[in-house]
Amino acid sequence: MDLLFWTAVAIVAFLVQIFRLIRADGDLSLMWAEAFGASPASALQGKVVWLTGASGGIGEHLAYQLAECGCRLVLSSRKEDELERVKKTCLERSNLSCANVLVLPLDLLDVDSHEECLQSVLRHFGKVDVLLNNGGRSQRSLFLDTSLAVIRSLMELNYIGTVSLTQLVLREMVQRGHGTVVVVNSFAGICGVPLASGYCASKHALMLAPYSENEEHKMATARCARLILIAMANNLLETWISSQPLLLYPYIWQYLPSLCRALSLMVGRRRIENLRSGLDADAYFTRSTCKTKST
């Protein structure tokens, strides 16, 4: 009787987990933290957060939500005008003063400038509590059509630039005995995707980072930013963030790599067809059409 009871409990627990996974847009640890863990507003309030790639996309929404949490912000990217726009919105959506948000133009490729950028932050705020590495760029091209210069640039921007800035900030954190480094990564760094060989290589290198969040750009940007903040607030070492069915991909890669490889080849063919047809390469479920003209 006891055996039957505990078997039933195990089956029910398994089915509950499957149901949660189907509905999830993040891994189960992250979903648990969202429901029962610390809130970003309480865990992050007052912290100095240096955010790269803050002028648009996920970085822009991270800036807004961090401001709403009461974080003091350093906003960095190459686009100073866009950073000023983001700063203005941060001030409108929070109780922060102008001095609480520092606009600091930064080029990740110019590693020689990173030390002076750090000193500017320290002069303004005196410390960095969180370095949120979000800067980088992607790629869409066939491997044979991609020049070595493009691949080198991706590695230098997405990996070397991030490592350079992280090393400098981490030394300051170690001296103070406190700090957090966050890396916004991609599923491309785990599983690899066609049409992005250089990007995948640069993101795979970032998997060596001590603290990372994977992001999938197809989900709502504000939701992605919110889940990243929840992961930060609850000190989750690694999280997977994506809408279904793509969230299943890394799980399959972990436990059924041969099946995942077969799926990658299938998806890869579709991406290449879409690229050659002038469609969005990531429109996996859109079939390209071939138009013919009689002569």
Beta carbons of 47 and 53 less than 8 angstroms apart: no
* DSSP-derived pairing of the beta strands 212-215 and 238-240: parallel
The token pair at 7 is: 């078997």
Tell me the C-alpha to C-alpha distance, in Å, between residue 97 and each of 6, 70, 88, 94, 138.
57, 10, 10, 9, 34
Cα–Cα distance between 157 and 202 in angstroms, integer? 8
**DSSP structure string for 61-87:** HHHHHHHHTT-EEEEESS-HHHHHHHH
Cα–Cα distance between 130 and 38 in angstroms, integer? 17
CA dihedral 223, 228, 230, 235 (to 10 degrees): 170
Cα–Cα distance between 123 and 167 in angstroms, integer? 19
Could you give phi then psi for residue 220, rounded to 5 degrees?
Answer: -60, 130
Q: Is 199 a catalytic residue?
A: yes
Cα–Cα distance between 130 and 151 in angstroms, integer? 29
Beta carbons of 247 and 219 less than 8 angstroms apart: no
Q: Can you tell me whether residue 207 is helix, strand or coil? A: helix
Q: Which residue among 64, 159, 199, 211 is the active-site one?
A: 199
**Exposed / middle / buried, residue 277 (Cβ in 10 Å: 0-12, 13-18, 19+):** middle
Name the residues annotated as catalytic: 199
